[in-house]
């Protein structure tokens, strides 16, 4: 039996505390049975002063991460950033003029996680200690 993955594109950033300053934001919710995974890509982080852009993590201008979704009684299942999901695909781009590559990176991660969900992977995680 094949597990069905339902994909929902959402219009807000899925992670990153400074996402409101990012010009590039993608957020995809993947649902398979009781498992919900948020794939989030952010990039082109605007500097507060002086114009231009800065990296999101000290190295990359675009980054993709994935997390289990928080349990919610409403339809908006946002990322539980204490439950990161690991994947094999590329997760960062260190060039500025790369929004097309960032879209491809995001899609590649979505496909990898979808394939694993279809294969029965539940992406078991242990919540990280709170900071």
Spell out the SS3 assignment of 21-43: HEEEEEEEEEEECCEEEEEEEEE
Query: Is residue 124 situated within a structural domain?
Result: no
Give the highest mean pLDDT range of 22-31, 76-85, 120-129: 22-31
Query: Is residue 127 situated within a structural domain?
Result: no
Query: Is residue 128 situated within a structural domain?
Result: no
> Which residue spans within 14-100 are E strands per DSSP?
22-32, 35-46, 53-54, 62-69, 79-84, 92-93
Looking at per-residue confidence, does 84 or 128 come out higher? Answer: 84
Q: What is the pLDDT of residues 51-65, one digit of tens each?
A: 999 999 999 999 999
Whole-model pTM: value is 0.91
Tell me the percentage of the chain whose pLDDT exceeds 70: 94
List all residues 6 or more positions away from 78 whose beta carbon is below 8 Å from its beta carbon.
14, 38, 69, 70, 72
Query: Is residue 56 situated within a structural domain?
Result: yes
Q: Is the pLDDT of residue 130 over 50?
A: no
Residue 39 CA, distance from chain mean position: 3
CA 10 – CA 125 distance, rounded (Å): 24
Domain that holds residue 95: 6-118
pLDDT at position 120: 93
How large is the average pLDDT for residues 2-11? 91
Query: Is residue 130 situated within a structural domain?
Result: no
Query: Is residue 27 situated within a structural domain?
Result: yes
Query: Is residue 126 situated within a structural domain?
Result: no
Q: How many domains does the chain have?
A: 1
Q: Is the pLDDT of residue 73 over 90?
A: no
Query: Is residue 123 situated within a structural domain?
Result: no
């Amino acid at each position: 039996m094949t597990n069905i993955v339902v994909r929902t594109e959402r219009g807000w950033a899925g992670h990153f505390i400074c996402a409101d300053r990012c010009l590039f934001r993608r957020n995809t919710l993947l649902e398979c049975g009781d498992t919900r995974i948020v794939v989030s890509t952010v990039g082109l982080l605007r500097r507060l002063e002086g114009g231009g852009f800065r990296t999101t993590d000290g190295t990359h201008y675009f980054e993709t991460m994935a997390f289990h979704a928080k349990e919610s009684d409403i339809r908006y299942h946002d990322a539980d950033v204490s439950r990161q999901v690991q994947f094999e695909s590329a997760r960062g781009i260190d060039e500025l003029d790369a929004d097309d590559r960032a879209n491809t990176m995001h899609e590649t991660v979505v496909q990898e996680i979808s394939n694993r969900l279809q294969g029965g992977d539940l992406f078991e995680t242990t919540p990280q200690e709170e900071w």
